[in-house]
Chain A
Amino acid sequence: MKKLIILFIVFISFNQAQAQVQHGNVLIKNGTVITITKGTLENTDVLVKDGKISQIGKNIAAPTGYTVIDATNKFVMPGIIDAHSHIALTAINEYSNAITPEVWTGDELNPFDISIYRALAGGVTVSHALHGSGNAIGGQSETIKHRYGTLDMDVLRMENAPRTIKFALGENPTTHGRNSGLQPQTRMGVEFVIREAFSEARQYMETWDKYNKEKLVKGFRGAPPTYSLRLETLADILKGNIILHCHSYRADEINMLLKVCKEFGVKRLVFQHVNEGFKVAPELAAAGAMASVFSDWWAYKLEVYYSTAYNAAILTRNGVVTSINSDSGELIRHLFHEAAKTQKYGGLSDDEALSLITINPAKQLGIENRVGSLEVGKDGDIAIFQKHPLSIYAIPMITIVDGVVRFDREKDPDDMRIYVDPKQVVDIPTIQSHDHDHDNCLRGTEMFTNKMLGLN
């Protein structure tokens, strides 16, 4: 019997090693379908075959073996995408150096994190598991799909999503610098650290290019240059192989990075938080840089004191591709509501507001051909609401990833943990404190980081 079990485990692990992603077949009937990119269609069906949207239209007959969901009087929209989150990670900040592009959050995904389920319960199907903001050049990050239920961290990865990396400007890296006695301790220092890193990477790239060229010559006997994962990664940014996501707040520092990136030919640039993005909206638009913002967080530290909840609307009106993100295991549960606030603060239309949490973050992660709208050929990532998702009374009912129902408000039991810690004492809950530093930006997982950093 024991042998059988071991055999079974070996068999399972072998299968898991292939990162078997489950693809489902589902027909959603008679809903109000908000496609985002191609208008809103009443009484319309959406057919998902093998995890991909295969048909959108009226009166589609259910093929045998398909899960059928009646969406009469319900609203069907693409799965929500969060361009800035730290859920499903066991660590956030590698801050042993001002420059750590060699690390990657994809090495420490946690498929058991209940936050993934809670995000699904907010209609969120994809999130960007970002490295933290403790250093100027942080780690590479992973775009994940919320395939909650899997035991395999590799299944969480969104296959073929572009590589991304986290940079950080302003108070976080400079505070860390001051606490550790290292550069940078000012915004001048931050610029230098990034310039120096890019310059060294350029040199590294040139040395390797030279070697690779010379070694083709017959009789060449030189040794290869020293390999460095750090410089290799930075070189990949310069080559355009990695999308740069940069934590930032103030207009001056945003302007700085725009100039540095222009000088080094870095084109794929997304600013994160970017509370003062509205002040440099024309510069952002001209550079083709994008912005991923909070709906209304401000005043938790000096660099966000001169903020406005109209940020997303001003950026949108100035032609900047803008998204609204969570940066929080709490807020990720109601991004539809955060997007809705742009209707109060700047009067965005329904499609504009919903774009902030669907197609726009998809563009920022380089996955807009796969997700972010309901179109034939795209992934079957879908959220179903009982009321219009921009209404305060909207409740996500069903969330589907790759055609597989991963959240069902009516059918799911209360306890949705995958892994139960036998040591967990059941009567000691976690009550988030509200009377300490009141630092919204560093809530949840980042709060933990912050404590580790000694920032509080």
Chain B
Amino acid sequence: MKRKIQYLIISLLLIGFVASAQNPKAKSGTFALTHASIETITKGVITHGTIIIQKGKITAVGTNVSVPSDAIVIDCTGKWIYPGMIDGGTRVGLLEIGQIPQASDEHETGQVIPQMKALTAVNPNSVLIPVTRISGVTTVITAPGGGMFPGTAALINLHGYVPDQMFAGFEGLVMNFPNQSRRGYYDRRTDEDIKKDVEKVTKQMNDIWDRAVEYYKLDSATKGKGLTYYPEMTAFLPVVRGEQNLMIEVNAANDIKAALKWVADRKIKKVIFTGVAEGWRMADEIAKAKIPVVVGPTLEEPTRDYDRYDKPYANAGLMKKAGVKIALRTSHAENVRNLPYYAGFAAAYGLGREEALKSVTIVPAEIFGVADKFGSIEVGKVANVFVCDGDPFETKTNIHHVFIEGWQIPMVSRQTQLYEEFLKRDPGLNKN
């Protein structure tokens, strides 16, 4: 019987899909999501609640909400509403197909190119975007990779036709801290080589920072007038001034220690650590420095053979316990849809469900300075929400509606379209 109902639901969904246009568009308007359990994140759970979405914003939340006459009413009886999830580190929009250089814009040439902007190269029509957003991930950091200062990362909402329409109000300067680690089993450098490499790169890093500080002093003294064109140094200015975040990718324990000292010595004001695979080894020190962390991926092998097998799962929880502010990331382009599962694993291995939920909603919003707009369900916030039929961390749960900046997103991706077409292929084995 259960199976029959499942088939019925699938058939109904299919009919819905077929009836819609080949490339369905998002819809705007006034929406009322009624009779739902609402996980507000910041203000507890509201049962039998209603959310009103108008002009891209959440205009009402609660049990005693009047539905505007022009509202499109979506009955959410038995369903849950959550704020759209935020992934603190991805390649979405920059990377389309991994092994094809022409389909990858994440990695510009050069060690020190902070003037590169990820937002420039975000492809709003990436096939990966619908795949991601219909899983409830509405907002992501997309970051460049490569050299020591590969450019600025941007926070984007996963709906829009030009990058500017997607921009969600945060940019951070990415820095890959010199790393005293191997990149994988194929990395056959000796320990000596690794240490030499790190020394060399560290010197380069210090020189660059000194120059950036010099440039800042010149810029302040001259009020920006009379300085020659120097795009790299111009890009450092907001960070040196303490206006923009420096997003430092750092993973090995020794590197974390070095980065903490480096940041403290230079009195850099706004810093976010990313990756932080061995953060659990330095958790107290990170907490003491009050540097927020975007940790992940959760599903990763331990960094050392002698470490306990579950350390990558437990890493976020261990840091949280020490008092570190934790957001999660997948580091993916194509499977950012798995963010809720990364959070689920972190929850199971010590972070706990409530904190795990925060680490993909309000905490990243706070870290990126956009908590007034994103990360929870509150009146006045941007209407990034999704409706699902259970705990969104559970794989059994299906997501039924997604709203991004108040736009009702079509629940279609190329992956669902292939499912429709091929579940019962026609013609099957015989064409005639």
Residues of A within 8 A of B (CB): 114, 117-118, 121, 171, 278-279, 281-283, 286, 296-302, 305-310, 313-314, 317, 329-331, 333-334, 337, 340-341, 343-347, 349, 390-395, 414-417, 420, 424-440, 444-445, 447-448, 450-452
Contact = CB atoms under 8 A, between A and B. Distances in A.
Interface stretch (B56-64, B70-78, B117-125, B331-339): B331-339
A345 B331 CA distance: 22
Contacts of B303: 429-431
B262 interface: no
B254 A427 contact: yes
A114 B333 CA distance: 29
A427 B282 CA distance: 13
A439 B101 CA distance: 12
Contacts of A420: 306
Contact of B428 (A282, A329, A416, A429): A282
Contacts of B334: 297-300
A434 B416 CA distance: 27
Interface in B318-351: 331, 333-335, 337-338, 341, 344-345, 347-349
A345 B107 CA distance: 32
B221 interface: no
Contact of B422 (A281, A343, A414, A433): A281
A395 B309 contact: no
A341 B415 CA distance: 14
B106 interface: yes
27 contacts: A118-B309, A279-B422, A299-B96, A299-B97, A301-B99, A302-B99, A305-B127, A308-B422, A310-B415, A314-B423, A330-B299, A331-B299, A334-B299, A343-B395, A344-B396, A345-B415, A346-B419, A391-B394, A393-B393, A414-B306, A427-B180, A430-B185, A430-B187, A433-B183, A434-B331, A438-B98, A448-B184
Contact of B179 (A300, A333, A431): A431
A429 B182 contact: yes
Contacts of B181: 428-431
Contacts of B6: 347
Interface of B: 2-3, 6, 9-10, 91, 95-100, 104, 106-107, 127-128, 145-146, 179-187, 191, 194, 251-254, 275, 277-278, 297, 299-310, 331, 333-335, 337-338, 341, 344-345, 347-349, 353, 391, 393-398, 414-416, 418-419, 422-425, 428-429
A444 B301 contact: yes
Contact of B304 (A279, A281, A429): A429
B104 to A, nearest CB: 8
Nearest to B420: A310
A296 B252 contact: no
B308 A414 contact: yes
A298 B310 CA distance: 26
A-B complex: 9 closest residue pairs judged by Cβ atoms: A435-B145, A392-B344, A429-B303, A300-B98, A299-B334, A310-B419, A414-B308, A301-B99, A340-B395
Given A415-B306, A430-B183, 13 more contacts: A286-B429, A300-B334, A301-B98, A301-B100, A307-B415, A314-B423, A337-B395, A393-B347, A393-B393, A420-B306, A430-B184, A432-B300, A448-B186
A432 B183 contact: yes
Given A340-B395, A395-B349, A435 B300 contact: no
A233 to B, nearest CB: 29
A434 B395 contact: no
Contact of A278 (B100, B349, B418): B418
Contacts of B96: 299
A343 B396 contact: yes
Contacts of A424: 305
Contact of B107 (A299, A300, A334, A435): A435
Nearest to A438: B98
Contacts of A281: 422, 425
A107 B45 CA distance: 58
B422 A428 contact: no
A349 B185 contact: no
Contact of B99 (A349, A434, A437): A437
Contacts of A394: 348
B97 A283 contact: no
A395 B348 contact: yes
A210 to B, nearest CB: 39
A447 B301 CA distance: 14
B419 A314 contact: yes
B423 A439 contact: no
Nearest to B144: A435
A337 B309 CA distance: 17
